[in-house]
């Protein structure tokens, strides 16, 4: 059985990407991170998602990435609210965390080598929220190229690493429809950048707005909104 290290954030994108790998018949090894996020609700969702997908193992690694600063997600900078969808795409958002996907993929790469896993799944998406440089196809391709020069197992020809970003060119509505067709329970996920102390989504940050619009366009209710 082919193994896939799946980056799981607790959000719906990484859930869907991992589920698509599972649907290809791969065995999942879920990987999540503590990196100085404001809230732990993300990691609770990650645990639920990994369990739902029957991941063979779920590791949560501590990173000290947040201590380096530079992002609204890990520091005191305010998360922007109430921006229309049309205003999000052109600029790099303040919620960008320097080198986050690079760091996360690098740990996934280390684990992939230890497991002899050929595939690494990431929920990166370049359509609905193209402001993050490390969610673009050219970044993913360059990372994969580098990865196959970095690992002993790749250099020795034992594995060929593939960075799988199946959502890269999908809209949020397409992602949601794909996940629903795979039977995913999106009530387990969490997308908000700035949840309330009790973990509830704010409904006003970019991520909440994109999620809500995605469910509307997919013609499906958001089970999280129903629960709230």
Cβ proximity to its own copies, 51 vs 155, nearer residue: 155
Cβ 96 to its own copies shortest distance, Å: 5
3-class DSSP state of 28: strand
Give the whole-angstrom CA distance, residue 47 versus residue 19.
14
Binding-site ranges for its own copies (CB under 8 A): 59, 61-65, 67-70, 92, 96-103, 106-107, 109-111, 113-114, 133-134, 136, 138-139, 142-143, 145-147, 149-152, 154-156
3-class DSSP state of 200: coil
Cβ 227 to its own copies shortest distance, Å: 33
Cβ proximity to its own copies, 110 vs 127, nearer residue: 110
3-class DSSP state of 30: strand
User: Residue 191 burial (CB < 10 Å; 0-12/13-18/19+)?
Assistant: buried
Cβ proximity to its own copies, 129 vs 215, nearer residue: 129
> What is the dihedral angle through the alpha carbons of 94, 99, 105, 111, rounded to the nearest 10 degrees?
-120
Cβ 67 to its own copies shortest distance, Å: 7
Cβ proximity to its own copies, 10 vs 66, nearer residue: 66
């Amino acid at each position: 059985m082919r193994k896939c290290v799946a980056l799981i954030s607790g959000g719906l994108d990484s859930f869907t990407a991992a589920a698509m790998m599972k649907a290809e018949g791969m065995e999942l090894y879920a990987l999540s991170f503590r990196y100085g996020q404001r809230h732990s609700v993300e990691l609770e969702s990650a645990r639920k998602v990994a369990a739902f997908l029957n991941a063979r193992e779920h590791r949560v690694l501590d990173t000290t990435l947040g201590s380096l600063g530079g992002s609204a997600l890990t520091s005191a900078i305010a998360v922007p609210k109430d921006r229309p969808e049309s205003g999000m795409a052109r600029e790099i958002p303040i919620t960008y965390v320097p080198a986050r996907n690079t760091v996360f993929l690098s740990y996934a790469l280390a684990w992939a080598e230890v497991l002899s896993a050929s595939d690494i799944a990431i929920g990166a998406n370049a359509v609905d929220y193209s402001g993050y440089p490390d969610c673009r196809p050219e970044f993913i391709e360059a990372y994969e190229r580098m990865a196959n020069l970095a690992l002993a197992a790749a250099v020795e020809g034992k594995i060929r690493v593939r960075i799988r970003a199946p959502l890269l060119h999908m809209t949020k509505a397409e992602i949601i429809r794909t996940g629903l067709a795979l039977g995913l329970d999106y009530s387990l996920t969490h997308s908000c950048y700035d949840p309330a102390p009790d973990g509830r989504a704010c409904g006003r940050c970019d991520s909440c707005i994109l999620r809500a619009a995605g469910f509307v366009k997919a013609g499906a209710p958001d089970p999280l909104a129903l629960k709230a």
